Structure 1
Amino acid sequence: MPKPSPVVPPHELERSSVVANNTMNRERGLTGVNSYTRELGFHPLEFLAGRPAPGWLDLCSGEGRALRQAAAELPATATLTGVDLVGPLAPTPAPPVLEEIIASVTSWAPTRTYDLVTCVHGLHYVGDQLGLLGRAASWLTPDGLLAAHFDPASIRRPDGSPAGRPALAALRAAGFHYSPRHHLLTLRGARTLTLPFRYTGADPTAGPNYTGQPAVASHYEH
């Protein structure tokens, strides 16, 4: 029988060195080798093209380089929002269309909807991953796109045993598509989700995930 993992409360989780990761998403730009376009498999600006007032919300945005580069290409009617627990390490004035918010994505919520919601390798450091995915689904416009990297192996039962398969089944039933090759969840169109999982805590000592970096294991009753 699996040995129960040492789960911690949210405030302690977010103070851990794994979650307060000052290297995650720091150098990733909009295009190129280390970029959102490469990690997501599509160019965010191509997806937003043609919308009169495009909105892009980036969760766990780090330095926000991709958003800043996008701001230079989008119309003045655009709204770009980056949310990160640590935020830019050397803050500089943001373009008028960009709002950079230092907050926990587990408790923050927007006051508007977005055409594009992304979380590039950010769920690996979130305690209640399924809860965030459910909330983010309601932040989309009717034809909006949610794209987030997801590791099913990080979803566990309270005793530490794997719960990735039932979690993926529930997400797919709710309308998500999952690409195992790219570890990417996508969802088209806003909706209200009620997933059959109750969050019980997270383990920041779970060790490296498929990226090779230390990550969090999220525990749920199902």
Structure 2
Amino acid sequence: MVRLISDSELTASSVVANSTMNRGRGLGGVNSYTRELGFDPAAWLRERGGAEPGWLDLCSGEGRALVEAARVLPAGVELTGVDLVGPLVPPPGTAGRGGGRAEVRLVTAALADWVPERSYQLITCVHGLHYLGDQLGVIARAASWLTPDGRFAAHFDPESVRRPDGSGAARAVLAALRAAGFEYRSRRHLLLLDGGRPVALPFGYAGADPSAGPNWTGQPAVGSYYHPVVVRTRGRTTGARGGAEES
């Protein structure tokens, strides 16, 4: 029987606290957000404009991609990074606006407890969900933080989500995510959502397993365990199998 731990215990585990997966990744180049996501986040924001443009990067590491993006985005664009460890040394250009550059704000916090003060046009999580316990909870919350014309893009491993008895829940989870409007690109292991919205997934978080072992990246990752629940929305009942029926 796998011993599951809470998210508060998980943040102190060696797999999470010592994670280096995304710490040095920049905006462009070989080891970059552009390469991993398949699009340039700064260019994406420039093309779409918007009344209150902003980019929220979850599990942002050193925040290098945000700092580099600030050099090419105008003042008025807010770039926010959230990471459990945060930057070891604050990178230059994070003090605020200046010289026509976008504003960068780096926050050190656990995602399980953090809530933004605004909505964002772009929300990313590059190889960060691998180290979270309640991955589905973060995904659902991030969807509600998006603007109506926004995009959420995150690397996600469906095989990391399991039922309390240890059996895999990948098919049921992907079915529920697709029913909620998400797209999953298996080649990149990339989960996408266009357009902010409330999301209720039919899974209840049971705990995390920090000893799950490596995922497809070859790096140690966290196993997330869920039990099925019933979600009622607008007269319809949805279960963990991804189906729906009138109620």
Q: Supply the AA of the counterpart residue of 2:177.
A: L
1:28, 1:35 within 8 Å by CA — same for their partners in 2?
yes
Say whether 1:192 aligns with 2:198.
yes
Once the 2 structures are TM-superposed, how far is the Cα of residue 111 of structure 1 from its aligned partner?
A: 1.2
Q: Show structure 1 runs of 5+ residues with no match.
A: none
Q: How many Å apart are 1:22 and its aligned residue?
A: 4.2
Q: Residue 81 of structure 2 aligns with which residue?
A: 82
CA RMSD of aligned residues (A): 1.0
Whole-Å separation in 2 of the counterparts to 1:174 and 1:11: 28
Aligned-partner Cα distance in 2 for 1:155–1:197 = 10
Q: Distance in 2 between matches of 1:133 and 1:118?
A: 10
Cα displacement (A) at 1:92: 4.0
**Alignment TM-score, normalising by the size of structure 1:** 0.96
Matches within 5 A, 1:87-126: 87-93=86-92, 94-96=94-96, 97-126=103-132
Secondary structure at the counterpart of residue 15 of structure 1: coil
Please give the residue correspondences for 1:196-215 in structure 2 after superposition, counting only pairs within 5 Å.
Answer: 196-215=202-221
Aligned residues: 219
**TM-score w.r.t. structure 2 length?**
0.86
Match of 2:17 in 1: 20
Higher relative contact order (CA 8 A, sep 6+): 1
In structure 1, distance between residues paired with 2:213 and 2:197: 33
- Structure 2 equivalent of residue 46 of structure 1: 43
Asked if 2 retains the 8 angstrom alpha-carbon contact of 1:177 and 1:187, the reply is yes
Q: Distance in 2 between matches of 1:22 and 1:181?
A: 23
Letter in 2 for 1:212: G
Q: Which ranges in structure 2 are unaligned for 5 or more consecutive residues?
A: 97-102, 229-247
Question: Matches of 2:155 and 2:3 in 1, distance apart?
Answer: 24
Pick aligned residue for 1:137 from 135, 143, 149: 143
Q: CA deviation at 1:23?
A: 1.4
| TM-superposed deviation, 1:10 | 1.4
Amino acid at match of 2:141: R
Return the offset for 1:95.
Answer: 4.4
Q: Which residue of 1 aligns with 2:236?
A: none
